[in-house]
Structure 1
Amino acid sequence: MHRKSVQILALGALAALPMLASAQAAADAAAAPAPNLTGNVALTTNYKFRGQDQDVIGNNGFAKTSWFKPAIQGGIDYAFGDSGFYVGNWNSSVDWLPGNSVEMDFYGGYKFKGGPIDWDVGVYQYYYPGNTAGNTTEIYGAGTWSDERFGAFTAKYSWTVSNDYFNYAGNQRGSGLDGQNTGYLNLAYTKEIVPKLTFKTAIGYTFFTSDIKSLGYKDYLDYNVGVSYDFGSGLALAGSVQGGNNQSAFNLIATPGIPTGTVFGPIGQTTFSPNVTRFIVTLTKTL
């Protein structure tokens, strides 16, 4: 080949290198894991949180004692690729604070692998736009060990860092009491027992501060046991039994008007405890 032709080819190859590099970078970007955005929506016959009904006060001020108190729920989660960081939002209809009808949760955290354990640490904000007295901030840490033969075991501890714990201490009302440092320990287990059918159970324990206990509340145990069936395409149906002990320390009374004294009102004429055991059915669609 003529020397001049070789030089022209070499110059052409050099000129093409930036375009090749750009094309490779674009290909690498396309191959990289994309941020993961997921959503979910659910209908449930009763929303319980840590063993307690979250729909307890009717429009006439009387306690809602029915087992059927449906709630609509839903949220979104965003994972930052493979970094382990994530943020999310979850919402539910509720009725336990005067003037408020929705719970809005915001959270963010970091997941990572440490030996055989999947770890998860983060912060969780419970927000009640109609009555901010219930607002609560927690930090949490969880560890999960899983095996195909034995299922998955999770231990999680949540610690309250806000001044109050779901208005139990009445801090915003000027009670001078504090719900900070209330803790919650949850132990959970899941196992697919037959294809598409998963057994789920959990037990939790709430550790109140001394200020909250001075109002008559007691530390209590909550429980959740049930099964979930996966229909495919993100649709699942779950049935579970949920409740808590020490029910007499969490009584509602049939007195119209805004509750005073404690989070549910003064203990007196007992008609209903939010810790009562319920059978709950939930239909969930993951998007």
Structure 2
Amino acid sequence: MTHAALKTFALPLAVALAAALPVLASAQLSGNIALTSNYKFRGQDQDTHKSTAVKPAIQGGFDYAFGESGWYVGNWNSSVNWLPGNSIEMDFYGGIKFKAGDIDMDLGGLLYAYPGASSGNTTELYAAGTWGPLTAKYSHTVSQDYFGWAGAKAGSGLRGRNTGYLSFAFAQEVAPHTTLKASVGFTRFASDIKDSGVPNYMDYQVGGAYDFGGGLGLAAAIAGANKKSFFGDVNKPRLLLTLTKTL
């Protein structure tokens, strides 16, 4: 590259970098680690090899926000025990947050990955809106596989795509450092799964969280789901205690 060409290339590059500096300067990386007495996902225990109420799991991840643009990526992980050959769930997600009037919007995609047992891998797109203490969120499965229930990797020949999950959550500070939380969710399986006899179901969670300061928090909640006659013990209501440290 000639000196003149180098100058021609360097000028727009410098302009681009200068424009990106405010975003880079305000970018934020945060992390978290937690210990919970039982990991429930959509009301269901993620350790199916124990019948006890206490099934400890260690969890943690990180989030990276690209400044004021609203874009973000992240990763979250948890120990699990419901798939042969697998002991960890690894979630990878990314999206954008923005304001729409008085509503805080969040649009993105999420991959649930289970190393060593890819039949559980599931990909969803989601859209959420928060207005004051209320949040509504819808997640839609776009992968053929759905948590081992269906898909090519599961070997069932069934399709999990178009399974949907709708949830409503409430979170409100009711005393200094104390937040009351409640949520309800509805899983609607794709027709292939539902036609095989798997019922749609509802999950719930009610509890609270206390912020000790310094990024340390303790949450307690009762969580479970209906249709216990089909899903069994994994849908039983449990007392969940979770200690979290934000880094």
Q: What TM-score, normalized by structure 2, do the two folds share?
A: 0.89
* Alignment of 1:239 onto 2:220: yes
Q: State the superposition RMSD in angstroms.
A: 1.9
Q: What CA distance in whole angstroms lies between the structure 1 residues aligned with 2:22 and 2:134?
A: 36
Deviations 1:250-270 (A, max 9, x none): 13xxxxxxxxxxxxxxxxxxx
Q: How does 1:194-273 map to 2 (within 5 A)?
A: 194-251=175-232, 273=233
Ranges in structure 1 where 5+ consecutive residues have no aligned partner: 1-24, 58-63, 147-151, 252-272
Q: What CA distance in whole angstroms lies between the structure 2 residues aligned with 1:285 and 1:90?
A: 14
Structure 1 residue 213: Cα displacement: 1.5
Q: What CA distance in whole angstroms lies between the structure 1 residues aligned with 2:161 and 2:151?
A: 12
Identity of aligned residues (%): 60
Deviations 1:154-209 (A, max 9, x none): 00000000002101125424322111100000100000000001000000000001
Q: What CA distance in whole angstroms lies between the structure 1 residues aligned with 2:55 and 2:152?
A: 29
Aligned residue identity for 1:163: Q
* Alignment of 1:137 onto 2:123: yes
Contact 2:28-2:67 within 8 A present in 1 as well: yes
Shift in CA distance, 30/210, structure 1 to aligned 2, threshold 3 Å: closer
1:275 aligned partner: 235
* Alignment of 1:123 onto 2:109: yes
* Structure with the largest fraction of strand: 2
Among 67, 71, 83, the residue aligned to 1:97? 83
Q: What CA distance in whole angstroms lies between the structure 2 residues aligned with 1:179 and 1:76?
A: 28
- Runs ≥4 residues deviating over 3 A: 28-33
Among 161, 164, 169, the residue aligned to 1:183? 164
2:53 aligned partner: 67
1:39 aligned partner: 31
Q: What CA distance in whole angstroms lies between the structure 2 residues aligned with 1:201 and 1:114?
A: 24
Shift in CA distance, 31/74, structure 1 to aligned 2, threshold 3 Å: closer
Q: What CA distance in whole angstroms lies between the structure 1 residues aligned with 2:136 and 2:239?
A: 24
Contact 1:205-1:219 within 8 A present in 2 as well: yes
Contact 1:33-1:82 within 8 A present in 2 as well: no
Shift in CA distance, 73/116, structure 1 to aligned 2, threshold 3 Å: same
Q: What CA distance in whole angstroms lies between the structure 1 residues aligned with 2:119 and 2:156?
A: 12
Q: What TM-score, normalized by structure 1, do the two folds share?
A: 0.77
Q: What CA distance in whole angstroms lies between the structure 2 residues aligned with 1:96 and 1:32?
A: 40
Structure 1 residue 248: Cα displacement: 1.5
Q: What CA distance in whole angstroms lies between the structure 1 residues aligned with 2:242 and 2:181?
A: 13
Contact 1:216-1:249 within 8 A present in 2 as well: no
Aligned residue identity for 1:101: S
Aligned residue identity for 1:218: P
Give secondary structure in 2 for the equivalent of 1:205: strand
Structure 1 residue 216: Cα displacement: 2.1
Give secondary structure in 2 for the equivalent of 1:178: coil
Q: What CA distance in whole angstroms lies between the structure 1 residues aligned with 2:209 and 2:92?
A: 26
Shift in CA distance, 283/83, structure 1 to aligned 2, threshold 3 Å: same
Q: What CA distance in whole angstroms lies between the structure 1 residues aligned with 2:23 and 2:78?
A: 37
Ranges in structure 2 where 5+ consecutive residues have no aligned partner: 1-16
Give secondary structure in 2 for the equivalent of 1:250: helix
